[in-house]
Structure 1
Amino acid sequence: MEVLIILAVLFGALFIVIPLIERSKMRISDEDTAKWAKWIWPLMGILLVAQLLRMLFS
Structure 2
Amino acid sequence: MSLGPYTSFIVTSYVLVTAVVLILIAWIAIDYRRQKQRLRELDASGVIRRSGRSAADIQ
TM-score above 0.5, yes or no? no
**Structure with the greater relative contact order (CA < 8 A, sep ≥ 6): 1 or 2?**
2
User: What TM bracket, shorter-length normalisation?
Assistant: 0.3 to 0.5
Query: Taking structure 2 as the reference length, what is the TM-score of the superposition?
Result: 0.41
TM-score, structure 1 as length reference: 0.42
More helix by share: 1
